[in-house]
Each structure stands twice: as structure tokens, then as C-alpha cells.
Amino acid sequence: MTILPGGTLGMLGGGQLGRMFTVAARTMGYNVIVLDPDPDSPAGKLATDHICADYTDTSALEYLANTCQAISTEFENVPASSLEWLTRRCIVRPGARAVAITQDRIHEKTFLREHGFSTAPFYIIYKQSELAAALAQLNMPAILKVSRFGYDGKGQVVVRDTAQADNAFASLKNEACVLEAFLPLQTEVSVVVARGEDGQMSTYPVAENIHKNGILDFSIIPARIHPDIEQQARAIACSLAQKLEYIGVMAVEFFVLKDNQLLVNEIAPRPHNSGHYSLDACVTHQFEQQVRVLCGLPLGDTRLLSPVVMANLLGDLWHNNHPPAWENLLKYPNVKLHLYGKVVARPGRKMGHFNVLAEDTTAAYTVAQCIKQELVISQLDSTAAITSAQS
């Protein structure tokens, strides 16, 4: 079934990914209904309609099913049961099975191992008494990751001995965890892949990712890796999408070890932060691609038009909820600013991003770092001025 412009699409989740999907869909002529419990939902502000209700609210789901021709999701923690309920009534992409596997680290790691995909050595921990035996099999340090609802470095603790591991498990409220070897990395990369209902697949250029405090700071595209590693990453991403019987846009994050070995780290069943560069640097960006797959349209061209560096903007740059000095960013003619419309800025919260397009990644990365530094300095100056005025 092909859904053409004029149709109505549903989005479970109203954060920044849902917002960028909504912009893409409405630009292409579709109506969008967003379901999100937050009355200040960034996507809800731009949607045709915003249903402010819980993801398990049957009346809200029924309204979506009766009104929308197809429904997608912007994050993996939407209850799989809600997706299953909707699937019995309308088109839902991605499907509940794929989301259920990727929203739980234990299920995800087990799926990867059972299907022959290389990962860091790991052990599944259901109770504290299992830690000592698992730690004995791993070189220290290791990293303990909560199985569900961990993101951007949250729900992860580096441990160096059994005592630390016991304390970490307690700090994670004794929830089921994955204990994973902490490996010496060359770099981290990711691939966004799209798969249509007809099995057609397309990958985006590989992104090289630089993290700070567990949160993505910069993505560099094309990644500064050997072409063989790039081809391998793309092939693995496609294989994973096929094994999951995935229909939609998803991202696969990889570790590149110092010996050039490539390991799968995580799967995100949605567009990804590291794919935001595509908004300005590709023929078809990842959110238009999400619309295309959802509507049964042919996949768009994913060619890279320019080297690019994406930089995240976190709430740390906002002082008392006042935005940074944007003139320090907008003075650069080759920079594209994207803000997410979030009402409250908090440290570590993703408030927006910017893309720097240049002749090569070295030039783009230099400008991106300069902008970040200028925004930090301007905020420090602003804070000092306010403090001085108040004293």
C-alpha cells in the first residue's frame, strides 16, 4: 500500500526525533498526529494534532488507529504492547518484534550473539550473586549497563573490582544488567540504514562519533576510517535490518578496536542523533527517508553532498534557561542551526545541534570546535555579568 501526500501519519513520541519527522512529513504534504504525554512536546507543537496521553491509553491508541493510515515511533521505549495493539488495526513501522528486541539490552545482545554478530564479551546479570563469576571472566575494567531505559550514558557504570560492581548493581536498583568488557577503542562509528517493505535497503555514509560524558558530542562524516571498515559496517547494518525483518529507518552503533576489528555496540530502531548531519548534507535526509518507508514510497538517494560535522547543543549552554549567544554561531555562513523547541534546558539535555559543511572534514571539525568554545565562553561571560550586577 502506498500512502501519498494528503494522507495522515501517526507518531508515537514527541521529542526532537518526532519533531524532525513531523517537519519532513508536513513539508511533503502529509498530516501528522503525535501521541505524547508531554503538553510541551516539541513535535506536538508542529503536528496537525497532538494527543496528550500515555502511550498505553487505549482511547488515544484507538483514535490514532482510526485516523492514521500508518504509524511510526521516534524512540525505542514505547511499549511494544502498544505497537502490537496498533498493528492489528493499521500499518505500523517498525514492527513490535524489532522494537521489543532493541529496547532491552539483554534481548538485543542475545539476538546479536545468536545470529553471529560480533560484540564485546558480555554476561547477563539478573542478581548480585552472579557478578563475581562474570567479573572473573573479564579483564578489568568492565562496564555494567542496565538492561532497559538506559541512554546517553545513563544507567551505565564502569567497575574495576567486585566491590565496585556490587555497589553499581545496587545503584541501578538491582535491575537486570549486562556486564560488558571495557575494550581499547580506536574509534566509534555508526550507520543509518533504511529498509522498505519490499526489502530494498539503503545506507547512509558512516559517521565517526566522538562522545563526552557518555553523550554524543560530534559526528564526523565521512568517518576517518579505512574503506574496508566502512564497507563492513554498511554490510553488517544491512544484514541486521534483514535479520530483524525491520521496516523503517534504524541506526547501528559500532566499536572499532585498535586492531581494526568491528564490533556491534547497539541498535537504535529509529533515526539517530549521529544521522542528523543528513538534514543538510545528503540528497535525502533520514527523516524524509522515514516518511518514505512508512508510506511505502521508493527509498530516497542517500548520497553525501558535502563533508560535514554535526555538533550537539546541550542544556549546559543555557544559563538559567537563557539561550547562548547565537550570533557566535550564525556569523559562519557554512553552518546550519537546528533547535528542538524544548521549553526547559537541563544539563545533558539535547536542545539542538548544528551542522558545519566544508570542503573537508578537518576544516569542518575545526569550525565546529571553535563554535562550541565560543558559545561556552559567551555563556561564562554572561553568567559573570549577571553575578556582578546582582552583587
Q: Work out the angle between the directed axes of helices 58-67 and 80-87 (0-180°, nearest 10).
A: 40
Residue whose grid cell is 579505512 = 226
User: CA-to-CA distance for 188 and 289, rounded, in angstroms?
Assistant: 24
For residue 337, which of 351, 355, 350, 349 has the smallest C-alpha distance?
A: 355
User: CA-to-CA distance for 110 and 114, rounded, in angstroms?
Assistant: 6
For residue 155, which of 98, 212, 214, 88 has the smallest C-alpha distance?
A: 214
pLDDT tens string, the chain, 391 residues long: the values are 899 999 999 999 999 999 999 999 999 999 999 999 999 999 999 999 999 999 999 999 999 999 999 999 998 888 888 999 999 999 999 999 999 999 899 999 999 999 999 999 999 999 998 999 999 998 889 999 999 876 655 788 999 988 999 999 999 988 999 999 989 899 999 999 999 999 999 999 999 999 998 899 999 999 999 999 999 999 999 999 999 999 999 999 999 999 999 999 999 999 999 999 999 999 999 999 999 999 999 999 999 999 999 999 999 999 888 899 999 999 999 999 999 999 999 999 999 999 999 999 999 999 999 999 999 988 776 655 555 545 5
Cis bond before residue 141 (omega within 30° of 0): yes
* Alpha-helical runs (H) found in the chain: 16-27, 58-67, 80-87, 96-102, 105-114, 131-135, 162-171, 227-243, 278-281, 286-294, 327-330, 361-390
State the pLDDT at residue 382: 62
What amino acid occupies position 243?
Answer: K
What amino acid occupies position 5?
Answer: P
Cis bond before residue 222 (omega within 30° of 0): yes
User: CA-to-CA distance for 263 and 307, rounded, in angstroms?
Assistant: 25
Three-state secondary structure call for residue 371: helix
Domains of the chain by range and CATH? 8-92 (3.40.50.20), 121-181 (3.30.1490.20), 185-385 (3.30.470.20)
For residue 3, which of 71, 75, 65 has the smallest C-alpha distance?
A: 71
What DSSP line would sit under 109-169, residue for residue? HHHHHHTT-----EEEESSGGGHHHHHTTSPSSEEEEESBS--TTTTEEEESSHHHHHHHH
Burial of 306 (0-12, 13-18, 19+ CB in 10 A): middle
User: CA-to-CA distance for 294 and 271, rounded, in angstroms?
Assistant: 13
For residue 33, which of 17, 14, 20 has the smallest C-alpha distance?
A: 14
State the pLDDT at residue 1: 86
